Amino acid sequence: MRTLKIQNLIIVLMLLITASCKKAAVNQDNDRDSLQKQQAVTELNTKYYVSAAGNDANNGTSTSTPWKTLNKVSTSTFGAGDQILFRSGDTFVGQLQVSSSGSSGSPIIFDKYGTGAKPIIDGANAAGGAYGAAVIATNKQYIEFRNLEITNNRTVNRSGVDKATAYGILISNTSATAKQYFRFTGLTIRNIYAVSIAGVAFNAISSSGIRIDGPGLTQDIRVDNCLITRTTRFGVSSSNTMDLVISNNQMTETGGSGIQPKQAENILMENNTFDYPGSNIDPRMTARGSAVWIADCKDVVLQKNISRHVRGPQDSYGYHIDHDNTNILYQYNISQDAEGGFVEILGLNKNVTYRFNISINDGNRADAKTLWLSTYGGSDNPGGGPSDRVYIYNNTVYVNGKTPNIDLSTGTNVHVFNNIFHVASGSIGQTTNIKPGTDISNNLFFGDVNTTFVSSSTSSYTGDAKFTSPTAADAPLGFRLLAGSPALNRGKGFSVPTFPKAGTGIFSGIPTNAPSLNVDYFGNAVNISGPVNIGAYNGAGL
């Protein structure tokens, strides 16, 4: 009996081993099939080359058989993962129309090949007149643009094109289905000018280096490490977008704002530099615009940006919050020499914050303002209404030779505290208008600051802030505090305004509101239970 049991056990074990081996073989075959399928997909991904010395009759699949024209590219069909590579140093005249979409994990990529200057796509000097956009993608998705130079200096209009428009790259979703995944990396976009904007209403002008619009939703967009310069109005503008990150870019001499998102949700703008927004060096420029201007947006973080020399007869602040925005956080930015002023918040906003920013000599118009709250609700609702839950705290404001005013005449639940208002020369608040009941407290004032503003601040302090070297050339380090500064350890503790999406999605790097996770402009820890310094610097006296 024992022998039979042993024999049966041996048979069972042999059957199990055989089944296991068969399963392993099947799995190995499946893995091999999967790998072969992946390799097949990879092999289908093709690189196409385009050269000014090429020929459209070529197959385009090698550097020795390149295509020649944008028309050939625009009329060809591409598969997911394909790359279209333009030869460095060459210029391609006409319009690049993106004809195909990529897929998740396999975008279609437009890039350069070879060494030397970026290849140029010139939308303006085409036969028949200038195109409205040098590059256009309509109802496409999963697209990347890398290392190209785009220009569209429109002087001769093309039939059927609005003479008041000009785009470097235009991404448009006119469908009912959301389009996603666009990457713009290492681009130079320059001289994007409409033929003429004479007689066109300011808000009707949308000309931009990069324009992303609807009416359909476009999402998952990244603009990184690009140079955008000399445009009729915007550097980057968008509407009907979600999950938009604009980072590490340089935008110079834009006719309007460097960035303007509108009707958008989930926006992160960081580490950008803006020089001379609102430029008027060309008559085709709008000559007005804050460095960043948001309208009708939700969940926005603007941080670690530098704005210099904003110009314009209206608005034209460093970074302004237009109307109908919700959950907006502006932190760790520098605004220098903005013609309009430092803080502009228009009507019908909810939960908006300026904190740990440095304003250097902002406000050099007669109507300029260091702080301005308005009820304006847009051209379709000019009466608008007050903004609710406004927080302006731990900012450093330095004025030398300017005379900006103060207008806090509207708003509900407005809090202005722990800020430095330091006037080396000139003044702040010659005209001051403050709504009764506005919470103003624990601010430090120095120089010619309107007494109405000073007296409205409970627990206020006066005296030289004692900056280390308060010049624009030494910013931001020059706006730290020396030992003995009256701003040291005199700020009040506070409850941090909520930013609901902190720590999630594109805001994964934005700390949640635990006291130990809050930092000042310079990265020093801020214990919000207090005491803290007044102003944007929370380190020890130097």
Please state the domain extents for the chain.
Answer: 54-236
How far apart are the two ends of the chain, measured CA to CA in Å? 92
Cite the beta strand spans of 225-272 per DSSP E.
Answer: 227-231, 234-247, 250-254, 259-270
- Residue 455 identity: S
Tokens 């998102």 sit on residue: 261
Q: Using one digit for the tens of pLDDT, what is the confidence trace for 25-47?
A: 444 444 444 444 433 333 468 99
Q: Using one digit for the tens of pLDDT, what is the confidence trace for 136-174?
A: 999 999 999 999 999 999 999 999 999 999 999 999 999
The closest alpha carbon to 171, from 219, 212, 142, belongs to 212
- Decide: helix, strand or coil at residue 73: helix
Q: What is the model's pTM?
A: 0.91
Instruction: Quickly count: other Cβ atoms within 10 Å of residue 13's Cβ.
Output: 10
Tokens standing for 528?
């919000």
DSSP string, 56-73: TTS--SSTTS-B--HHHH
Q: What is the pLDDT of residue 496?
A: 84
- Report CA Rg, the chain: 29
Q: What is the mean pLDDT of residues 504-523?
A: 84
Choose the weakest-confidence range: 173-177, 362-366, 426-430, 515-519. 515-519
d(CA 220, CA 362): 34
Q: Using one digit for the tens of pLDDT, what is the confidence trace for 246-266?
A: 999 999 999 999 999 999 999
pLDDT higher than 60, residue 517: yes
